[in-house]
Amino acid sequence: MRSTNLDDLQSRLGYRFKDIVHLESALTHRSMGPSHNERLEFLGDSIVNFVIAEALFRRYPEAREGKLTRMRASLVRGQSLSQLARRLQLGETIRLGSGERKSGGRRRDSILADAMEAVIGAIFLDGGMAACQSCITAWLESELASVNPNRVDKDPKTTLQELLQREKKNLPVYRVLEVLGPAHQQTFRVQVHVDGLEEDPVGTGASRREAEQAAAADALSQLGAS
- Exposed, middle or buried by CB within 10 Å (0-12, 13-18, 19+), for 161? middle
Instruction: State pLDDT tens for residues 81-116.
Output: 989 999 999 998 999 998 888 888 888 888 899 999
Tell whether 9 and 117 lie within a shared domain. yes
Instruction: State pLDDT tens for residues 130-186.
Output: 999 999 999 999 989 888 777 666 778 888 988 899 899 999 999 999 998 876 678
Q: What backbone phi and psi angles, to 5 degrees, belong to 180?
A: -105, 155
Position 153 scores a pLDDT of 65
Structural domain contains residue 151: no
pTM value? 0.71
Nearest CA among 37, 7, 16, 30 for reference residue 118: 37
Tell me the residue range of the domain where 141 lies: 3-146
Structural domain contains residue 174: yes
Nearest CA among 44, 17, 184 for reference residue 106: 184
Domain boundary among the residues 111, 146, 181 is at: 146
Per-state percent for the chain, helix, strand, coil, to nearest 5: 60, 10, 30
Q: How far is 58 from 171, CA to CA, in rounded Å?
A: 31
- The CA-to-CA distance between both ends of the chain, in Å, stands at 47
Tell whether 57 and 160 lie within a shared domain. no
Q: How many domains does the chain have?
A: 2
Tell whether 216 and 113 lie within a shared domain. no
* Whether 121 contacts 42, CB under 8 Å: yes
Residues carrying an active site annotation = 45, 117
